[in-house]
Structure formats: structure tokens, C-alpha cells
A and B are shown apart, each in its own frame.
Chain A
């Protein structure tokens, strides 16, 4: 006899609160992890006063570094280094997280029709928007508490008070961009559009901050960008009052605008009208493979631009960063990576590792999109025509593999372009080879996740991202600490050569590429022998 499930009272508010709690806690865990590991890495890589002074001298007056990552203060202290290392990464991550969270909860719910359903009850759009925004405080609080707790667990080098100060500053953009996403959700009538509009404000914010820090006498521009306010907060000597007032005022202002806009528009509509018609674009529609390319194209290009740009920037700073690595630190990292060579080559190897992780993330995201297409029965719309199942899946996976290899080569080329501008002396061939090598763990991971998709599609997304986080986490911990060899062998990135600081290991690269290919073939076979699974 079936046991009745216990009755749980569920309301729209509690669902939003739970979602905010989850989202905030996850962001907090990442930020806390970054703060904690940065502090630990500093103590491990720069153990002596002279090493720390040398680091401070190399970075504090490097304009390129300041433009990219913000100014460096007190790099000879754990707190100063941690803030410098985590500030821009965490601030941008928190901002993206904020805008994605608010557009998902406000515009995403509206897109899916859930808001309309809730509004059939005794509430209005304005009141519901207000309730959702009130729940954002749950997200912010969860992020702050989790970040502080995780950072405390990871690092013993920073006091609890310093950790709490750091996480407060680093999470400030989360609050501002929750508001930015909320306003965009009122203006644009689709989740994607709202997220893009809010992302544009973030890009503008970053650009203004970079110009303000370029040493052109435009430092006052920092007051016109939320990332600038955060940067001001990181200079305790200059006083915290004004930036905090700016952050609070912007948050209140954006919240008020959101409420006003939500009270004067229809459900499902935005303040900006969308183009609903257009003349036909028939490019890449002739075959299932061409259509897969059309679906993949925009996303692949976006990832390609991001990975190339990041590689270029890291290539640009590789020489300066490499020069700051003292012999002991260098030996520690090279030992972890199984590499040798100059500081520049080691920094480029680390960049290469990040490229491999990014390419893998692209691969997993594409498999998640594939699963989403099946869940929404879009795959049915293709397979109800004379299209072979295995052939269709093979085509789609092959395109992902080609995009990964192309992305790796492009990243290598971009890394070289950046490094060449600084006369780093690393050859184009070495860096393109490193880039192509970066594609191999991504291919292995794609093969593995594709097999999961072929066998158990419902687990594709969770296991795919889980495997990526596991693999990346293990090797990143190796760079700053130590992990057992058996455990490390389970990470696909452990089998990546530390090129250009080491030669590309063709056997390892070939094995990973072959694993990827095998996984892809296996997924095609299993996919053709199972039911299509919706929802």
C-alpha cells in the first residue's frame, strides 16, 4: 500500500524564498571559497616578507593590471592580497549572479506563466513584485552568511572580522545588480532580453571603472559605476561612508523604479515593445546538421569571444605575473602541475588550465541544452521527420567537439597575441598547441556526459556540472595545497599537460580525445535504443 506523503503548505512567497536561499547560498559558497583559497594560496606562495614586498612592487604600479583587476593595496598583507585577488572576479560574479537571479524570478516566472497564475489570487503585479524583491534580502543574507562561513573554514590566515568585511564588500554588487535585473525585467518582455539588458549595464559599469583606473585623470568616473563604488570600499583609508551611501541609494532607487514600473504595465508585457515580425532568415535550415549548427552558433561564438578575450588579457599580464613568482612558489606550482620553465610559462600554463575548464563548461552547457531540448520535446519535432536518431545526435555532438577544438586553438592564439605584445618570448606554435591540448579534457568530459545523456537523460545536467566541478576543484586545490594521487587521477584536468611550461603529452591528449570520441559513439548507440524522455 502506498504511504501518503506528508502535507506541506506551499505558497508563492515560500517558493521564492527557497529559491532565493538556494541561489544566495550557492553564490556565497563560491565567493567564500575564492576568498578562503586566495588567503591560503598567498600564505603558501609568498611565505616571506621579501617575497611579499616584491609582489607588491610588481603589481601596485602596473596600470594594465589595475585596469583589468582594479587597484592593488597592501599586497604585502594577506588581507590586501586576498581583496586584490578576489575583488574583480567576485564582484563580477556577484553582479552576474544578481542580475540572473532577479530576471529569473521576476521575468522568468512571468515568461513561464507562473506569475499570471499567482495573480489569479488576491494579489497584484505590483504587490507580487514587491514580495519577490523583499525576498532578495534572503538571497543577500544567505550569500553573506555562507561566504563568511566557507571563507572561515578554508582560511586561518584572516580574522573573522576581516573575512566578514571582505565578503560584505565583495557581495555588494550582488545587491545592486539584483535591482538592475529587476528594472530590466520591467522594461523588457522576455527573460533573455532582460538578462541581456542588465548584462549591458554591467559591461558599461566595468568599462567605466577600467577607464577611471587607466591613469588618465578620470578617477572621478568611479562614482558613476557600482564596480567603482566597490573599488572605493576596498580602500579603507579613504573612508567607507560615501560608497556605502551610493550602493544603498542605488539599491533603493532601483527597487522603487521597479515597483513603479510594475504598477503601470500589463502582465507579460514590458515597457519596451518587441519586434514580433521579421522577414525570413533561411540560413542553415537545409538539414538537421545545419539546423544544429544554427542553434549552436550564437552560443559558441559568445563563449569563443569570452575565452579569447580572457586568454588575451591573461597573456598580456603573464610576464608581469610570472616575474612576481619567487623560486619557492614557482617550484610549488610547477610541482603541482608537473611542469618546469619560467614564471611567464607557468602563468600561461595556469591560464591554459583555466581555458580547459572554460571549454569543458561550454561542452557541459551544450549537453544541458540538448537535454533541455529533449525535455521540451523539441527533439521530437526533428525526429518525427525522416531523420536517423543516432546520426542526428552524432552530428550535434560532433559540432560541439569541433567548437571545443576551435575554441582551444583560438584561445591559444589569443594568449600568444597578448603575450607577444609584452614581448614574453613564447612562440605561437607552443601556445596554439597548448590551446588545442586544452580541448582534450573538455572532449573527454563531453564524451562522459554524453554517455550519461544517452543512458539516463534526466541526470545529464546534475552529473555533468558535478563532474566538471569535481574535476576542476581537485586540480585547483592542487595548485595551492595537496590532494591524494588516486583522487587526483579522477580529474580529467589532471591528465592535461602543463603546456607551454611542459611539452604536450600526445599519449595523454590522444587518450582523452579517444575517450571523448568513444563516449560520443556510445551515447549515439544508447540514445537510439531508449525512449525520448520529456519533463
Chain B
């Protein structure tokens, strides 16, 4: 089977609150899937359902073809996770916590664990109580990555990490992807998702509003144009697809949705010095999407 994670009309309600509504999602083997959404969108609920910690109100979630709720322990043999908002045991050292995780998982690549400990600059002899928030997160990350599990489910994995450690995280995920591991990465750090993910799913108020490859999502946002003219700036604001048109001296900045040729035709008739066309960043797409619908 090609799909590692498959959810069908997954709905989760807590009393009157609907945390997930009819979410149907498929994550293919070997891909890195980004799972985006603002706070309270339902990302952690989805992950809790996938890990079998919460039972869906309706719908089904399967991992490796097995029901993630009913066969949780069996499914967990092939996955490793970094849950969000967990509390480690304060009296254990980082190394002891990793030993415990290794024993509970059953099979761990010790050499890779040492490499990760070195890469993330973690002192395993320190008690968890004495760790900073970032160091506690490193323990969870190393704990998941060292298993080399077929599927990694990561919920806000870089919380508290400094930029250098974020780089270490990105290289570790790249390694995992190269080895053929599937990664389901929940985050609201757009640059991280943009750098790592093949596909992205966007969740808003419990509903999946967009699922697609990054390049497809980029087209959802308008292209950003920055044009410098020799002389007067022509009024391009009325051309089809043009938005947010601003002029500053001899420079015009605007966004274009849809086809570019009407703009290019208009620019060809003007005296253009420089033209810069930029694809929207994922963050811009994301903000635009939420701006539109909220």
C-alpha cells in the first residue's frame, strides 16, 4: 500500500466543540508532509487521533493499513513521535530518558543515537530538571529520530530550539527522508515547512482547507512584482489580477493573480529599468488564505 497515513472523514468533537471535521488526508510512503494551521486549528488533535490517544467521533484513521485507534500498540512498532506539551520525568537524566525510550521502542540505532546527541549538543548526564526548554525538546527529538522508525510524527518539534539546532533538526529530517522514512510534520513555522516538506496540508478550525504540493500552493498566492521605471509610473492597478498596487517615486510594487501576459504587455509599452518577479512564500500564501476566509 502506498499510503502510510490515511484518514477518511475524520471527525472529533469535544462536547459542542468540533476539533476536527471530516478530515480526509493521505500521506504517501517516503514523503515529508507539512501540517499547517494556526493555534487551536486542531493539529494536535489530529496527531492525538493518529497516535491512538484520542478516539475519533466518526471516520477512520489508519497507519500502515491498521486502525490507529484499535491497533495502536501494533502501529507504534513502526512509528516514533514527538508529542507537544509533554512533561519529561524531572529526576531522570537526559541519557536515562533516552535509555527508557530505547527500551520501550525495542530497537534503536545506538551509533545514530550518539551521533544525534553530538549533533544536538545535548549533555546526557544532566537531569531533566536542570535542562532548558530547548534541551528537553532535544531529548524528545533524539528519542524519536534514534529509532529510525518507518514513520515519524512530529508535533511542533522545534519549539524552543535555537537557529543552530533548527539547522541540525532540518539535516536530521533530510537524512530521514533520504532513508525513505515518512515524516508527518506539524508546525506553524513556515520557513521550516517550506525547507523540508514535499506536500502541505492546511487546517483551519478543524477543517482541511488545502492539501497539495508546495509548488501548487505557491500558485494560490499572487506573484509579487517590483518594477522600476525610467520616468512616470503607469497606472497598472486596473489590469486584471492586479492587487495591492503601490507607487513610490519611480517604483511600483504589486501582486498579480492569474496570467501574467496582460501585465507584461503593459510593461512592454513603458520604459522599464528593472523587473523583479517573485513567487509568494508559504507564509504569504498562508496569511492570505486565512486573511481571506476569517
A interface residues, Cβ below 8 angstroms from B: 190, 274-282, 285-288, 291, 295, 376-378, 380-389, 529-532, 534
Distance of B157 from chain A, by nearest CB (Å)? 13
B159 at the interface (CB under 8 A from A): no
B residues within 8 A CB of A281? 96
Q: Which of A190, A378, A380, A386 contacts B53, CB < 8 Å?
A: A380
Bound-state CA distance A327–B234 (Å) is 113
A380-B83, A385-B101, A531-B54 known; A282-B48 Cβ under 8 A: no
B residues within 8 A CB of A376? 86-87
Bound-state CA distance A316–B64 (Å) is 65
B85 at the interface (CB under 8 A from A): yes
B103 at the interface (CB under 8 A from A): yes
**5 nearest A-B residue pairs (beta carbon):** A276-B130, A385-B104, A376-B87, A377-B86, A531-B54
Query: What are 5 of the A-B contact pairs (CB < 8 Å)?
Result: A277-B126, A282-B99, A384-B83, A385-B105, A531-B54
B residues within 8 A CB of A280? 93, 95-96, 99, 124-125
Q: Which of B55, B74, B93, B104 contacts A382, CB < 8 Å?
A: B104
Bound-state CA distance A278–B73 (Å) is 33
B residues within 8 A CB of A385? 76, 101, 104-106
Residue of B nearest to A383 (CB): B53
Total interface residues on B, CB under 8 Å, equals: 36
Contact B86 A381 (CB under 8 A): yes
Residue of B nearest to A528 (CB): B72
Distance of A111 from chain B, by nearest CB (Å)? 9
Bound-state CA distance A284–B96 (Å) is 11
Bound-state CA distance A376–B85 (Å) is 8
Q: Which of A287, A383, A529 contacts B103, CB < 8 Å?
A: A287
Distance of A308 from chain B, by nearest CB (Å)? 25
A residues within 8 A CB of B52? 383, 389
B223 at the interface (CB under 8 A from A): no
Bound-state CA distance A382–B105 (Å) is 9
Q: Could you give, for residues 63-89 of chain B, a 1 whenever the CB lies within 8 Å of some chain A CB and a 0 otherwise?
A: 000000000111011001101011111
B127 at the interface (CB under 8 A from A): yes
Contact A276 B87 (CB under 8 A): no
Residue of A nearest to B97 (CB): A381
Q: How many A-B residue pairs have CB under 8 A?
A: 94
Residue of B nearest to A372 (CB): B87
A385-B101, A529-B55 known; A282-B73 Cβ under 8 A: no
Main secondary structure of the interface of B (DSSP, over half): mixed
Q: Could you give, for residues 101-132 of chain B, a 1 whenever the CB lies within 8 Å of some chain A CB and a 0 otherwise?
A: 10111100000000000000001111101100
B196 at the interface (CB under 8 A from A): no
Bound-state CA distance A534–B53 (Å) is 11
Residue of B nearest to A285 (CB): B100
Q: Which of A277, A279, A384 contacts B81, CB < 8 Å?
A: A384
A382-B104, A384-B51 known; A278-B86 Cβ under 8 A: no
B residues within 8 A CB of A276? 126-127, 129-130
Contact B85 A285 (CB under 8 A): no
A386-B105, A388-B73, A532-B53 known; A285-B96 Cβ under 8 A: yes
Contact A389 B73 (CB under 8 A): yes
Bound-state CA distance A282–B104 (Å) is 13
Q: Could you give, for residues 126-142 of chain B, a 1 whenever the CB lies within 8 Å of some chain A CB and a 0 otherwise?
A: 11011000000000000
Residue of A nearest to B104 (CB): A385
Contact B85 A377 (CB under 8 A): yes
Bound-state CA distance A386–B83 (Å) is 15
Contact A277 B123 (CB under 8 A): yes
List 9 additional A-B contacts (Cβ < 8 Å) besides A280-B93, A377-B86, A532-B48.
A190-B129, A281-B96, A288-B104, A377-B85, A378-B86, A381-B83, A383-B76, A385-B101, A385-B106
B residues within 8 A CB of A277? 93, 123, 125-127, 130
Bound-state CA distance A204–B216 (Å) is 73
Contact B89 A387 (CB under 8 A): no
Bound-state CA distance A530–B72 (Å) is 13
Bound-state CA distance A426–B35 (Å) is 70
A277-B123, A378-B86 known; A386-B100 Cβ under 8 A: no
A377-B86, A386-B74, A531-B48 known; A282-B53 Cβ under 8 A: no
Q: Which of B76, B85, B124, B127 contacts A384, CB < 8 Å?
A: B76
Distance of B210 from chain A, by nearest CB (Å)? 27
The residues in B between 43 and 62 inclusive whose CB is less than 8 angstroms from any CB of A are 48, 51-55
Bound-state CA distance A387–B76 (Å) is 8
B residues within 8 A CB of A530? 55
Bound-state CA distance A387–B85 (Å) is 20
Distance of B200 from chain A, by nearest CB (Å)? 24
- A277, A387, A388, most chain B CB atoms within 10 A: A277
Q: Which of A275, A378, A386 contacts B77, CB < 8 Å?
A: A386
Distance of A379 from chain B, by nearest CB (Å)? 9
Contact B76 A285 (CB under 8 A): no
Contact A278 B87 (CB under 8 A): no
Bound-state CA distance A277–B88 (Å) is 16
Contact A386 B86 (CB under 8 A): no
Distance of A292 from chain B, by nearest CB (Å)? 12
Contact A531 B87 (CB under 8 A): no
Distance of B255 from chain A, by nearest CB (Å)? 39
Contact A279 B104 (CB under 8 A): no
Bound-state CA distance A408–B130 (Å) is 38
Distance of A376 from chain B, by nearest CB (Å)? 4
B residues within 8 A CB of A386? 73-74, 76-77, 104-106
Distance of B131 from chain A, by nearest CB (Å)? 9
Residue of B nearest to A291 (CB): B100
Residue of B nearest to A378 (CB): B87
Distance of B16 from chain A, by nearest CB (Å)? 11
Distance of B126 from chain A, by nearest CB (Å)? 5
Contact A278 B127 (CB under 8 A): yes
Distance of A454 from chain B, by nearest CB (Å)? 14
Distance of A373 from chain B, by nearest CB (Å)? 9
